[in-house]
Amino acid sequence: MKVIAQTSALQEALALAGSIVVARSPKPVLQCIKLVAEGDTLTLMATDQEVGCRYLLTSVKVEEPGEALIPADRLSGIVREAGSDEALTIETDGETVMVTGAGSRFKLYGYDPAEYPSVGEFSDGADFEIPSAVLGDMITKTVFATAKAHSHYAISGVLWEAEGTALQLVATDGHRLAQARGSLSAPATEAKSAIVPAKLMSMLQRSNRGDERLEIKIAGSQIFVRTMRMTLVSSLVQGNFPKYEDVIPTGSTATATIPTTEFQHRVRQAALLTNEESRGVQLSFAPGVVKISGRGPETGEAEAECAIGYSGDEMQIGFNPAFVIDAMKVIDTDEIALDLSASNKPALIRSGSDFLYVIMPVDLG
């Protein structure tokens, strides 16, 4: 194999493909990137055997077709240190790989490309299509609410539900729930539901280009996402996602209209003197104002207030401040609506018509 490629193109491809590669593995080949040069295309492949990537580079010159299997960290380091306008020549001699740039030459010891696991390919037609910018925004508004521990594996991923011209994403960790909706650019051929792992969601965020269209296919236990430059494939999370519809509150008795940025700021202030023993902040709602207070047995007390619109009886409720702040970070409207029913029942935060967030109260004693 002999191929000449621009450093900038290789850097972008390796940033995505390299994020899949495992740092430690009993199988050294899983710490590698596979390169396949044929025709006028260089394909970079990576997999951890759960998530895989095929990244196509067409702005290359293939002088000799072939394959190479190279340690990802070594190749990434070489490409990272090359000049952005520099062209690199990658050439193989058996399992040895030479990388030559302007004023530099590297000799890498690789592996037999035949030993590398297969990376699934997108076949047949897509189940639905969605603009990259739309899906990226939906991922931002949901993935943060997934469970970080795998005690209940299904909630470590994000539920995708596609039907007609709409896609809905839902994430929960048992203490809060985030739901985002978006419009498809090509409607679903049939209703589809799948639990997508957070790792793939993060990769889709990282690779997001607002002007791209994503083709999605859910087949068996895998999901495929394709653009003109790449294909991502991942195993789906197995298990039953909670019946989230039962968690979303209905029939609120009070509603507050709150400025998003100021509310986030005031919650941060009230949380400054909380500690591990007193993780909650108390919100006291009254017409025209919400008072937010936090305290720690050994640190002191803090109080902040925020002007709001409010209808309903006065009410006090406690929340984990981190859960409130997480939601405020991803909301892109100037105001939120907060629906309340009782101090011991979940609250509902709404932003526009396409995002809602359920947050469980905490007992402040």
Annotation: CATH topology of 128-245: DNA Polymerase III; Chain A, domain 2 (3.10.150)
pLDDT at position 278: 67
The predicted-structure confidence for 223-271, as pLDDT tens digits, reads as follows 999 999 999 999 999 999 999 999 999 989 999 999 999 999 999 999 9
Task: Give the confidence band of 2 by pLDDT, cuts at 50, 70, 90.
Answer: very high
Q: Which fold has domain 2-115?
A: DNA Polymerase III; Chain A, domain 2 (3.10.150)
Q: At what angle do helices 72-81 and 7-17 cross, to 10 degrees?
A: 150
Q: What are 136's two structure tokens? A: 């990226």
pLDDT at 178: 98
Main-chain phi, psi angles of 307, to 5 degrees? -75, 135
pLDDT given at position 276: 73
Same fold? 2-115, 128-245? yes
For residue 152, the model assigns a pLDDT of: 63
Segment among 58-62, 81-85, 101-105, 154-158 with least mean pLDDT: 81-85
Backbone torsions φ then ψ of 4, nearest 5 degrees: -115, 125
Ordered by start, the domain boundaries in the chain are 2-115, 128-245, 248-359
Mean pLDDT across the stretch 21-47? 93
- Angle of helix 321-330 relative to helix 260-271, nearest 10 degrees, comes to 150
Length of the chain: 365
- The DSSP secondary structure of 121-161, one letter per residue, reads ---S--SEEEEHHHHHHHHHTTGGGS-SS-TTGGGGEEEEE
How much is the pLDDT for 84?
78
- Token digits of residue 278: 């007193």
Kindly compute the dihedral angle of the four CA atoms of residues 271, 352, 194, 56, in this order, to the nearest 10 degrees.
-90
Please compute the mean of the pLDDT values over residues 64-76 and round it to a whole number. Answer: 96
Could you report the per-residue pLDDT of 101-152, keeping only the tens digit for each? 999 999 999 999 999 999 988 888 999 999 999 999 999 999 999 998 765 6
Q: What is the mean pLDDT of residues 144-165?
A: 88
How much is the pLDDT for 333?
A: 97
Instruction: Find the largest Cα–Cα distance for the chain.
Output: 78
Average pLDDT, the chain: 94
Look at residues 154, 180, 168 and name the one whose alpha carbon lies nearest to residue 327: 180
Q: Say if residue 347's pLDDT is above 70.
A: yes
d(CA 336, CA 127): 34
The highest-level CATH class for domain 248-359 is alpha beta
State mean pLDDT over 202-217: 90
The confidence score (pLDDT) of residue 72 equals 95
**Cα 159 from Cα 154, distance rounded (Å):** 9
pLDDT band at 59 (very low <50, low <70, confident <90, very high): confident
